[in-house]
Amino acid sequence: MTSARASSLASSLARALGRIDRRDERRRLRPFALAPGGRLRSDAGEFLDFSSNDYLGLSLHPLLVERACEWTRRHGAGAGASRLVTGTSAPHLAVEARLAAFKGTEAALLFASGWQANAAVLAALLKAAPDAVVLTDRLIHASLHHGIAAAGARQVRFRHNDLDHLEALLAAREGRGGPRIIVTESVFSMDGDVADLPRLAGIARAHDAFLYLDEAHATGVLGPGGAGLSAALPGGVDLVMGTFSKAMGSFGAYVAGSRLLCDYLVNACGGLIFTTAPPPGVLGAIDAALDLLPGMDAERAHLAHIAGHVRDGLRAMGFDTGASATQIIPAIVGAAGDALALAARLEEEGILAAAIRPPTVPAGSSRLRLALRAPHAMADADRLLATLARLRGRASCPA
C-alpha cells in the first residue's frame, strides 16, 4: 500500500467497475498453464480445454521450444532497439522473407502483436488517404476498429458476411470520396464462420477498393499448407495480417502484401517505428512453426473432423451454432448470466469453455465459445457433448 488517498479519478473508476458488476460483466484474471493433450492446468486441477487458441498444440511443441531457446542463447534475450535504429537483425529479415514466401506475397513485416498491427497499420494507411471510405464487416475485431478510430476515419459498416450489402454500399458511393478500403476477417473469432474470399476479391477489384484481411484464426489452420485462406487466392487480397499467437503457437504478428505497402509502413507506421523489434526467442519459435506448418495436413484434417462432429452434436441437441464452419464453434445461449452459468457448470465437470459476453459480442448473443484443437482426441469431443447434454437436461440450464 502506498497511500490511502483516493483521487477523484479513483472514485470514477470504482463507479465504472460497479456498473460492470451490475451487468454481470466483471472479468478477472486467473492463472492457467497449457498442458499436453488439449488440457489446461490451474490450482483447481487439470481441465479439458476448449478455450485457448493454440489450435495445433504448437505452443508446447519441442521444435518451437528448442529453437526459441537456441536463438535466445545465440542472439540474446532482446532486440535492443526499434527496427529503424539497430533492432533489425539478419533473423528478422530472414523470418520476414519466409513469411512472404509462405503467404505468397512480395513482402512481409513483423509486428509486436496482432492487436498492435491492426491498430497501427490501419491508422498508417489512413494517414496517406484521409479522405478514404472504410467499409467494415459489422463483426470485425476490436483492434481493427481501434486503428480506424485512431485515424479519425468514418466507418461504413456492412452486415456480417453480407457481400450484397457491401456491393450496394460501394455502388451508392460510386464516384464520390477518396480511395475505398474494405476491412474484414477470413475466419471470425467469435462465430467461426468464413468470409467468401473469391467474391470479396472480385468486388474489391471491380470497385478499385483495397482489401484488408485479418487471418488471425485461419493462419496455420486453413488454406494450402496452413497459409491461410488468402494463400489460395494469389494477388486477390492487398493486405493480409495474421498472428503467431494462435495456431502458430507463440507470439507476435505479421502483415503481408506488396513491396510498396511494406516500404510505406516502414516509413509511416508508428506501431512499427516507435517500438522495440521482436526478440530473437520469439523469432526462433516463429521460424520453427514455419518449418512445421506445411507438413501438418493430418492435424488440420483431424481438427476439421472433430469440429464437424461437435457442431453436428450441438445442433442435434438444439444449440444454435450460427454459421460456424471451422474449429471455432459458438453455442449461443443469449443472456450473459446464462452463458456464465453454463460455463461454470462445465468447469465443475472439468471442462473449460469461455463464456463470451457483451461487449465482445452483441447483446443477446452471449455464448460458449468452443475452440477445438488438434491435440484433442475424438473421445474429448464426445465427453464435451455428453456433458453438455447432461447439463442441458437440468431444468435451470439454458440452451
Ligand X SMILES: *Cc1c(COP(=O)(O)O)cnc(C)c1O
Q: Which of 137, 191, 193, 214 binds ligand X (CB under 6 A)?
A: 214
Q: Which of 185, 191, 193, 338 binds ligand X (CB under 6 A)?
A: 185
The residue among 325 and 391 lying less far from ligand X, judged by its C-beta, is 325
Those residues whose C-beta lies under 8 Å from the C-beta of residue 13, and which sit 6 or more positions away, are: none
Cell 455464448 maps to which residue?
367
| Grid cell of 27 as nine digits | 472479468
d(CA 124, CA 3): 41
Cβ atoms within 10 Å of 22's Cβ, excluding its own: 9
Which range binds ligand X by CB under 6 A, 111-119, 288-296, 337-345, 365-373? 111-119
The residue among 255 and 381 lying less far from ligand X, judged by its C-beta, is 255
Site string for ligand X, 8-47 (x = CB under 6 A): ----------------------------------------
d(CA 112, CA 289): 17
Could you say whether residue 170 binds ligand X (CB under 6 A)? no
**Beta carbon of residue 49, minimum distance to ligand X (angstroms, whole number):** 17
Those residues whose C-beta lies under 8 Å from the C-beta of residue 114, and which sit 6 or more positions away, are: 143, 214, 216, 241, 242, 243, 245, 253
Closest CA to 156 of 207, 215, 231: 207
Site string for ligand X, 306-345 (x = CB under 6 A): ----------------------------------------
Residues marked active site are found at 53, 141, 185, 189, 214, 217, 246
Q: What would you measure as the largest C-alpha separation in the chain, in angstroms? A: 63
Contact yes or no for 340/348 (Cβ under 8 A): no
Which range binds ligand X by CB under 6 A, 3-11, 197-205, 213-221, 391-399? 213-221
Q: In this structure, what are the phi and psi dihedrals at residue 293, rounded to the nearest 5 degrees?
A: -55, -45
**Beta carbon of residue 189, minimum distance to ligand X (angstroms, whole number):** 4
What is the length of the chain? 399
**Beta carbon of residue 112, minimum distance to ligand X (angstroms, whole number):** 8
Alpha helices for 29-89 (secondary structure H): 62-75
The residue among 223 and 313 lying less far from ligand X, judged by its C-beta, is 223
Could you say whether residue 189 binds ligand X (CB under 6 A)? yes
Cβ atoms within 10 Å of 238's Cβ, excluding its own: 20
Could you say whether residue 219 binds ligand X (CB under 6 A)? no
**Beta carbon of residue 22, minimum distance to ligand X (angstroms, whole number):** 28
d(CA 48, CA 64): 23
Q: Where are the beta strands (DSSP E) in the chain?
A: 33-35, 39-42, 45-49, 107-111, 133-137, 155-158, 180-185, 209-214, 239-243, 253-257, 328-334, 351-352, 354-356, 366-371
**Beta carbon of residue 242, minimum distance to ligand X (angstroms, whole number):** 8
Could you say whether residue 118 binds ligand X (CB under 6 A)? yes
- Strands 107-111 and 133-137, by their bridges, are unpaired
**Beta carbon of residue 114, minimum distance to ligand X (angstroms, whole number):** 2
Q: Which of 91, 114, 257, 279 binds ligand X (CB under 6 A)?
A: 114
Could you say whether residue 143 binds ligand X (CB under 6 A)? yes
Could you say whether residue 113 binds ligand X (CB under 6 A)? yes
Which range binds ligand X by CB under 6 A, 75-83, 214-222, 323-331, 340-348? 214-222
Could you say whether residue 282 binds ligand X (CB under 6 A)? no
Which range binds ligand X by CB under 6 A, 211-219, 231-239, 305-313, 375-383? 211-219
DSSP assignment letter at 337: H
Could you say whether residue 245 binds ligand X (CB under 6 A)? yes
**Beta carbon of residue 56, minimum distance to ligand X (angstroms, whole number):** 15
Give me the residues that bind ligand X (CB under 6 A), please.
113-115, 118, 141, 143, 185, 189, 214, 216-217, 243, 245, 253
